[in-house]
Structure 1
């Protein structure tokens, strides 16, 4: 039995259903829980949320007799320093799919310690399901069928105690601003319990209702691994529609695993010619396009670091299909501000909407006015996020350019349907 194993936390900031932590506690006499703040990966708008997650994780570990060791610098170099300090002979971590994470795993594999990855970021490991031809599924529906038939691993409980060697814990970074949503495993468990009791049953009927906001808002907690996607899927099994949404996360994980250039390169090249218009790009980013449903979504993103999923599709289609601006402009902006900004999901979804990705109907266009009238019929979502339009009658709200006179205080449209 190894004396000491390091458990390297990354996008799995929890102690419940954490296979790497669970196995380390079984395999070693002592465990070093470690998180490395990598300056090469700016947390962007997620800094406050990340810090709250780290404090929550530290508190949970302290309750079990251990602590969260925090270091700053290159992840591999700092982890190896901690290994030298503690005499650790192995490093356990959750496997990931991004190019940066896989390069890091390759570097660890070359070090003179044992390195092992475990599931936990996805429900089904990304390379496990493969079609009859090819190395990954390119279309969601057949992937969903295979995914639904796959056997899921069993959930693992949080360790009751964690024995840890003497090592300097280090400080968790401070931040100036608190996030719109509080971070951490305790918080997501409170929210999850409430949502399962009161909202899950209405999810299929109401998840596209912009004003009703019937979505779970659990995506930031999934992105930072405050709850495992497997536990969420297991507990939400009564709603096939919600579990299907979780399958989309696994789908894009296996796409990214097979196509590591997803954040920069067209998955299906040669489909679009983009043009560049800085004024239009800036208007879109700032929620000043003059198209109310688009501006509402973009302002929600600025204010909350989050956006309703239906609104994400509308604003993405508007940028790429209506304005014909490069999807990378939008995807990078989302990655900058979203609390749930995740390489596989964010860039995979943007390519899907732009017609360069996994959509089997790459030429579909979401007309923002028709979408607004369907999913925000009374304009409550628009009024909530675009106060200049609070007193505009619903008959003119979705198309203010049709009003008899310009609406005072609201920007002129850069597009008219």
Structure 2
């Protein structure tokens, strides 16, 4: 084949990239392309994205290639560039959200109209989302444990090396304003994490060498903060989840978390309205309580462990996984506020927020999703005492409670009156 466009989306890497590998193996010229949605660059993820793109461009250039960048509608811009370069095919990594699948359908239709080949490839998950089906019928697994058993037995595709050479057309116009993107990356980057495959691979290597062995023991330690923080790199595709799993074969609980990620993706593939509609309708009645919702978002509920998590989210675009469970459960189970309110807030601020995991986890907590115990209620005080026994995590994010000693910080109804500006609990805790 003469020229193939590889449209990057949530797969910003060169290692184990099936679409890129196939294009480089079968075409004389390859055009790596990213189309910037102007709405996306204004989000908290925008600066991280720019860093990812800058790093991807560097990786491609070291292999003789480049990254073409365009702005606007991905379908329109992809087809326009394909026609400019007389490309014969467009390759993409398949995704699961309603938006991504609509984009894929439109691309397929436009490619057919212009007599170009359109192909989708795996790479966003370990096991393709539609590959596993329960033996008793149905188009996807609704319960995690049977999915885990089937997932664990499924043969994996081969992890692909990065291409040695990416032969771009000589007349390719990059469309990348020199200096502008790197300046934006420096100005809007994440306060804790730097975007890009290079940083991601270094972090992955260090995590697998030094930390994964005690992940099961330390994953819930709020103050210790012993999670991998690889999820943003998986969300942007700077890391291949398949390669990560292959290198963490003895990771136990860590690999189980990668399976949870695949699980939510296969649910979203089967139920693309997961960000809008109840996966399982329970007939729940939600409180339209704007005051409670705003207090929760601001980290001013009067429950220190909840408020610490919410303030970590606002300050860092990140939240410890145990804190995510505590804060989300508090909103839906104690304040009785619709899960969509909380999920939208997480989606707006979380660096690693993707549709499948964000909304799948929120529905699990709310009891409208895949939890087999939909009436599960998590007590935030018990969680705080168990996973932040000395109150270190709370005091880290709630400076007004800095002088409250030990686990006394977890008893909001007994906080000294000298603590100014911190509210009493929004709801009784028993």
Task: Output one character per residue of 1:84-140: Cα deviation in whole Å (capped at 9) or x when no partner.
Answer: 111110011100001111111111111221000000000000000001211110000
Q: Counterpart of 2:139?
A: 135
CA contact (8 A) 1:291 1:415 kept: no
Gaps of 5+ in 1: none
| Alpha-carbon distance, 1:409 to partner | 3.3
CA contact (8 A) 2:126 2:242 kept: yes
Q: Counterpart of 1:170?
A: 175
Q: Distance in 2 between matches of 1:279 and 1:406?
A: 25
1:119 aligns with 2:122: yes
Q: Distance in 1 between matches of 2:211 and 2:320?
A: 16
Q: Secondary structure at the match of 1:205?
A: helix
Q: Distance in 2 between matches of 1:302 and 1:8?
A: 32
1:68 aligns with 2:67: yes
Aligned residues: 416
What is the TM-score of this pair, normalised by structure 1?
0.98
RMSD over aligned Cα atoms = 1.2
* Aligned pair partner of 1:152 in 129, 143, 156: 156
Q: Counterpart of 2:396?
A: 384
Q: Distance in 2 between matches of 1:189 and 1:404?
A: 47
CA contact (8 A) 2:41 2:47 kept: no
Q: Distance in 1 between matches of 2:41 and 2:298?
A: 22
Task: Output one character per residue of 1:271-326: Cα deviation in whole Å (capped at 9) or x when no partner.
Answer: 41101111110110011111100011001101111100000000000000000000
Q: Counterpart of 2:249?
A: 237
Q: Where does 1:88-103 land on structure 2 (aligned, <5 Å)?
A: 88-103=87-102
| Alpha-carbon distance, 1:395 to partner | 4.1
Q: Where does 1:274-289 land on structure 2 (aligned, <5 Å)?
A: 274-289=286-301
| Alpha-carbon distance, 1:254 to partner | 0.6
Q: Counterpart of 1:11?
A: 10
CA contact (8 A) 2:306 2:323 kept: yes
Q: Secondary structure at the match of 2:32?
A: strand
Task: Output one character per residue of 1:137-156: Cα deviation in whole Å (capped at 9) or x when no partner.
Answer: 00000000000000010000
1:269 aligns with 2:273: no
Q: Distance in 1 between matches of 2:90 and 2:2?
A: 12
| Alpha-carbon distance, 1:21 to partner | 0.3
Q: Counterpart of 1:179?
A: 190
Gaps of 5+ in 2: none
What is the TM-score of this pair, normalised by structure 2?
0.95
Q: Distance in 1 between matches of 2:8 and 2:274?
A: 24
CA contact (8 A) 2:390 2:407 kept: no
Q: Counterpart of 1:318?
A: 330
| Alpha-carbon distance, 1:168 to partner | 0.8
Q: Distance in 2 between matches of 1:105 and 1:408?
A: 54
Q: What stretches of structure 1 move > 4 A for 4+ residues in a row?
A: 40-43
Task: Output one character per residue of 1:180-199: Cα deviation in whole Å (capped at 9) or x when no partner.
Answer: 21000000111111111111
Q: Where does 1:203-218 land on structure 2 (aligned, <5 Å)?
A: 203-218=215-230
